[in-house]
Amino acid sequence: MSTIQETAAEAHPANIDVPSKKNMGLGRTASWAMLIVLALLPLFVRNFVIFQMTMLLIYAIAVLALNILTGGSGQFSLGQSAFYAIGAYTAAILIEHGGVNYVLTLPAAGIICFAVGFLFGFPALRLSGIYLALATFALAVAMPQLLKLGVIEHWTGGVQGLVVTKPDAPFGLPMSQDMWLYYFTLVVSLAIYIASVNLLRSRSGRAMMAIRDNEIAAAAMGVDLSIYKTLAFGVSAGITGVAGALGAIAVQFVAPDSYTFQLAIALFLGMVVGGVGWLPGSLAGAAFIVFVPNIAEGISKGLSGAFFGVLLFVVIYLVPHGARQGAIYAETLFNKLKRS
Amino acid sequence: MELFINQVLAGISTGAIYACMALAIVMIFQAIDHLNFAQGEMAMFATFIAWQLMQWGVPYWWAFLLTLAISFAGGVIIERLLFKPLAKAPILTNVAGFIALFAIINSVAGLIWDFTIKQFPTPFGSSPFLGSQLISTHQAGMIGVTLALLIALFLFFRFTRIGLAMRAAAAMPESARLVGINTGWMVALGWGMASAIGAIAGILIAPVVFLEPNMMGGVLIYGFAAAVLGGLTSPLGSVIGGFLVGIFENLVGTYIPGVGNELKLPIALALIVIVLVVKPTGLMGHTVVKRV
């Protein structure tokens, strides 16, 4: 209401609150242990569990993308489901209408989503915090209707959506389709994870984090705000698009109503649970959004929304840094044990 | 020409609902500087309460008043329990809180009343208003109730001590506290009023969009569009924005071919983005100057 804010620090708290820790990754031992578990586990479980683990990795990529945007550059997006949908549709249309190999659809989805995200990011230059959340919220809500548009129905299949054929394992490898897709997804997510950690460690990453911590100070030090903010938005959208493409291949089906605002809520929740600004937490967040709804639906149908909501409140009140807090706690415990 | 007048009047009547939603959003935004993404779901829940009361045999207007009272209390309780502790938290935490509230209310409404579409009664009937074919009595009723509400709110904020205190608490919390205003409770009061205004919007629009847990999704987006168009810092602007957006929506839907029901939400999205890019302060808002 007033044109004079009493104290900026009090009236306008920082966008996000990230505990200071130089490294955005995970310790070396823990990383290798995690990778070995992820690589070996599918050999011992049923096909359906392998499918669930594939979805886990896919959501982890999407959560990671949001984490780069929010944890990295301090901007919000409630519209990640829209980019996920664009990626999924890109892959589905290329495979079904264009006959393109599924491997090639991933970079295509990534590039298209990067472009869309970059363009949508232009308004983001002028929007801060809450306004960006608002614009992306509207994008997420409007997306299913956009996909149902009559003009592009020939390509998108309208309300019915598209069925995508599942790829076989190449070179005659003795693997089920699910297992092949799992390892394929694992390689893609590993590549994206390593690239993201390096991105945030690079000059660009430091510039983004400077913007996150204090926009005005960053600008004063010569960081080009508009470039880096749009870039963060584009990269995040691009990675989400790759996740969406993988999701379309894994689920073998795309339809407008699979990409509603509920998906955006889930991804947002995954980021908060995993710990904002801590990339390995994306895996924990993804595990949360894949497995918790199953448990909740087991108790009562339609309960998962309420369950998500209540847990989100629990997390922001009790463990505001999400899984990262748990990891830091475990690390100190481990070090203590080693010393004694 | 008749079609044009018809569409403008229809636009004004839905615009009345958007104006209510926008007003509710702006009231909370003024009080705590955050957008309530759960505003639509709160209104939906209130509408379900009204429906339930009527199913139990409570007459329409009593159910209406009771629902307003319940929503008011609900808004105050939500603020006290869930959002007061977050007052100093980063924006992200607050957004997460609103998203959580959204998910909880939507899911709980589905659990209690399930997702089937329900008819909602209107006290105004749907016959032509004053014998003219231009507008139905329910549409006229929507406009009438909204105007009455706006006048009441104007009088409240302009001429009562509590209204003045609420304005002071929103404008300059520190100084308001120094002169003895309990700013914390003023925020809670703002939440209660916003929740009750949302309930009115929900009850009025329910006969048009039918009652179900996702009924307010589109209305909320249009409410946001109205609030942004009018300026998030101006209650009067948000109301005018609401009417403008309603008229705009109807005219675009009538005169531009290919834009039917299926493009309603993308239009609202485009409107929000365009206003935020071209004139972020909206029609009647003012720039907030920050001291660093």
pTM as predicted: 0.84
pLDDT value of position B46: 93
Mean of the per-residue pLDDT values for chain B? 84
Do A156 and A257 form a contact (C-beta atoms < 8 A)?
Answer: no
A126, A276, A303 member nearest B111 (Cβ): A303
Residue B1 to chain A, least CA–CA distance (Å): 29
Nearest 5°: the CA angle A259, B15, B79 is: 65
* Chain A residues close to B111, C-beta within 8 Å: 300, 302-303, 306
Q: Decide: B24 and B195 in contact? Cβ < 8 Å.
A: yes
Residue B228 lies in a domain: no
Residue type present at position A124: A
CA B247, CA B152: separation in Å to the nearest integer?
24
Give yes or no for B107 touching A (CB within 8 A).
Answer: yes
Distance CA(B281)–CA(B291), nearest Å, equals: 18
Handedness of CA B231, B232, B236, B241 (dihedral sign): positive
Nearest chain B Cα distance for residue A39, angstroms: 33
A316 → chain B, closest CA residue: B93
Chain mean position to CA B83: 19
On whether the CB atoms of residues A54 and A168 are closer than 8 A, the answer is no
Contacts of B243 (CB under 8 A, 6+ apart): B11, B12, B15, B16, B18, B19
With tokens 């920082």, the residue in question is: A14
Judged by CB atoms closer than 8 Å, whether chains meet at B287 and A3 is answered as yes
Q: What is the pLDDT of residue A6?
A: 38
- Give the tens place of pLDDT for each residue, B240-253: 999 999 998 888 87
Residue B74 has pLDDT above 90, yes or no: yes
| Number of independent structural domains in chain B | 1
Q: A255 or B78: which carries more pLDDT confidence?
A: B78
Q: Does B77 touch chain A (CB under 8 A)?
A: no
Taking only the tens place, the pLDDT of each residue in B276-291 is: 877 777 777 766 666 6
Contact B85 A7 (CB under 8 A): no
Domain of residue B144, residue span: 2-220
- Give me the pLDDT at residue B261, please: 62
Query: String of b and e for A298-335 (b: at least 16 CB within 10 Å)?
Result: eeeebbbbbbbbebbbebbeebbbbbbbebeeeeeeee
DSSP, residue by residue, B156-222? HHHH-HHHHHHHHHHH-HHHHHHTT--HHHHHHHHHHHHHHHHHHHHHHHHHHH-B-TTTHHHHHHH
| Residue linked to tokens 């993201």 | A196
Task: Assign B43 a pLDDT band (cuts: 50, 70, 90).
Answer: very high
Reading the block at residue A114, the tokens are: 């990067």
B positions 225-284 inside 8 Å of A (CB): 225, 228, 233, 258, 262-266, 268-269, 272-273, 276-277, 280
From A308's Cα to the closest Cα of chain B, the distance in A is 7
Minimal Cα distance from A215: which residue of B?
A: B292
- Is the ipTM higher than 0.90? The answer is no
Determine, yes or no, domain membership for B227.
no
Nearest beta carbon to residue A123 from set B114, B276, B290: B276
B6 in any annotated domain: yes
Q: Which of the residues in chain A have pLDDT under 50?
A: 1-13, 22
